Copies of this chain bind each other. A is one copy, B any other.
Amino acid sequence: MPIRKVYENSIEFVQVMDEQGVIDERLGKDLLSDEQITFLYEKMVEYRRLDEIAFTLQRSGRMYTYPQNKGQEAAALGSGFALRKGVDWLVPCYRENGALFLHGLPPELIFLHWMGDERGNAIPAGVNVTPIAIPIGTQMLHATGMAWAFKQRKEDRVVCTYFGDGATSEGDFHEAMNFATTFKVPCIFFCQNNQWAISVPREQQMASETVAQKGFAYGARSIQVDGNDLLAVYKVTLEARERARAGEGPTIIEAVTYRLGDHTTADDARRYRDSEEVAAWAQKDPMIRLRKYLEGKGLWNDAKQQVVEDRAKAFCSEIVKKSEGIAKPDVNDMFDYLYAEMPEELRRQKETLRTHSLGQDPSQAGLRSSAASAR
């Protein structure tokens, strides 16, 4: 046969809980207990409130820039909950705070980062999280390498790296996916497709119909999931984790979600997107959906909500206090951590806070008279 099919594949979209908070019984059975779902809903409320506080801090000049997570919490919490705290590793971008918090990252570190303080990246030992990645797309290769290290050492660990739809346009996404699949490392590529990369909509970012199908280029398992459906996200991440642990290599997960806020506090999304679009997606808010579910099951009511809101308030004040209460970093900080052992010239710069030689070595200023004759 002179023309024959040599490859075919397809992408499935997974949803467990619909927008009314109703669960597909077949898929949803035994996935998460009501206690777990309640716990995750409560976390979602707390983290949403913290997100809002960060925004107001920035607006009042107490934080420099902040990228809101609003609307994407199901993707972060559903995936984060499917990974083993203290065992698996999370390699984030900057819009999945909830996942990091679940894994033990002190939230004040995120605040410190956005307050312009490197100490926000000093992740405590035992917290298996890497810092926020500012340059888009670069962290996926680090995740790949880390997963590779675990494979080489035969440690039972999985790495999950997060990135946006825009990030899939960078060459590093491609090289990371290709390395990860070629060496079958235990890495999950979790894309939060929130439809926008600053002002560029997904359709102008790529000509492919889905992000998930990009995985075909690497022979990766590729799946699309309703990113505002916490249960579905949990389900596909858990499956990806088990595949990774079984040595079956990476999965790319496209979580279809939406950035309800501006790109960051430096952005004004009204310049480039319709309020109707935002309003339509606001209806799909993962927090509303989850509450509907809990209410439908008789597990939730206004009184409970009030308790959580109060707790969230206290939680937020504590984080603000912690992040604002810390003294300004010492100026030495900018020299002390560049190398394990400080080079001589850097030490001179640190000690004098000068780069000019007369400033570094004031005694040189007097040299002239004594030595000029030698010349």
Contact = CB atoms under 8 A, between A and B. Distances in A.
B6 A8 contact: no
A242 interface: no
A320 B206 CA distance: 47
**Range of interface residues on A (Cβ < 8 Å):** 35 or more
A10 interface: yes
A40 B317 CA distance: 78
A213 interface: yes
A9 B212 CA distance: 13
Given A174-B171, A217-B216, A219-B207, A27 B9 contact: no
B224 A6 contact: yes
Contact of A8 (B8, B178, B219): B8
A213 B210 contact: no
Interface in A155-173: 169-173
Interface in A1-17: 2-16
Contacts of A38: none
B2 A15 contact: yes
A214 interface: yes
Interface residues of A, dominant DSSP: mixed
A11 B7 contact: yes
A14 B2 CA distance: 6
Contacts of A12: 3-6
Interface in A240-284: 249
Contact of A7 (B10, B24, B174): B10
A175 interface: yes
Nearest to A254: B6
B209 A218 contact: no
A175 to B, nearest CB: 5
Contacts of A169: 175, 178
A182 B204 contact: yes
A6 B209 contact: yes
A115 interface: no
B212 A218 contact: no
Contacts of A103: none
13 contacts: A2-B14, A2-B232, A3-B27, A5-B10, A6-B212, A7-B210, A8-B10, A8-B11, A178-B207, A181-B207, A182-B205, A206-B218, A208-B218
Interface of A: 2-16, 18, 24, 26-27, 169-175, 178, 181-182, 184, 204-210, 212-214, 216-220, 224, 232, 249
